Amino acid sequence: MPLAVLLLSAGPALAVADSSAGPSEATAVRPAADWPAAKRTQRVSATIPVSGTRNFDFTRFVGTGALGGGDQSENQPPVLELADGATVSNVIIGSPAADGIHCRGTCTLRNVWWEDVGEDAATFKSTRANQTMAVDGGGARRAADKVFQHNGPGTFTIRNFQVEDFGKLYRSCGVCKKQYQRHVVIDNVTVRAPGVDVVGINPNLGDTARISRVTIVGDRSRKIVVCQKFRGVTAGEPVKTGSGPDGRNCIYRTSDITYR
């Protein structure tokens, strides 16, 4: 599918935490932000390529035509496709959302909000183990399955984020034709029930999940699994192999999880 370039004027920059900042800045506990209101809505019929740094000034993108899918169908095109090294900020992905955002390498998503997740909110399609995807701020709602999907190698960091009504916040690919060792870092995330798993990883591939300062709201029976382990495969179906902290793959303490 040809890529359509959408030209939008960048609005004033919004102050957000820099992921390279020291512990007193980027990792300081911040209250969950209110969901932002869109300043404008833009209908999008073809994937928008993004390179460099783009501040979309709270534009809501809504899929139409080929991007009009809002269900869980596989292999949908994304609304935004980020080149290696790209950063986007202050974006709202409305509904239909198709396959949200794809990152083709190292990328940063700052203050990005998904109002009604389609296939996935964002997918990390990295090609090298030293590539990273960072999500800082923002939130996602109504994800019937996954919010963040990790298909390539590398490290995925999610901090200062909120999610509600979801299947899995993060999933290392369970069935990919080529599998990799993957790593995820979760820090200062608020999770609101209903939900299934905060993270799903494949210990048989060497995956790790480092989890800190997670607040789970509205899950009195504690059904939401913080770290679900699977056997990742190249064909067939992944099977669950356990859950909970183990100091090796699911790396966190019970004190890192707060229920309210």
Looking at the chain, the whole-number percentage of residues with pLDDT higher than 70 is: 85
Could you tell me the pTM of the whole model? 0.86
| Buried-exposed string 95-124: b where 16+ CB fall within 10 A, e elsewhere | bbbbbbbbbbbbbbbbbbbbbbbbbbbbbb
Residue type, 56: F
**How much is the pLDDT for 23?**
33
Domains of the chain: residue spans and CATH? 1-10+36-119 (2.160.20.10), 128-260 (2.160.20.10)
User: Which pLDDT does position 71 carry in this prediction?
Assistant: 55
Q: How many CA atoms lie within 13 A of 216 on its CB side?
A: 24
Write the pLDDT tens digit of every residue in 99-157: 999 999 999 999 999 999 988 999 999 999 999 999 999 999 999 999 999 999 999 99
Is residue 26 within 8 Å of 18, Cβ to Cβ?
yes
Provide Rg for the chain, Cα atoms: 17
Report residue 218's pLDDT band, with 50, 70 and 90 as the boundaries: very high
Query: What one-letter code names the amino acid at 172?
Result: S
106-to-99, 132, 133 alpha-carbon distances in Å:
18, 5, 5
Q: Averaged over 70-87, what is the pLDDT?
A: 84
Spatial distance between the Cα atoms of 102 and 85, rounded to a whole number of angstroms: 12
pLDDT tens figures, 1-60: 443 433 333 333 333 333 333 333 333 334 345 899 999 999 999 999 999 999 999 999
Euclidean distance between CA atoms 136 and 165, whole angstroms: 20
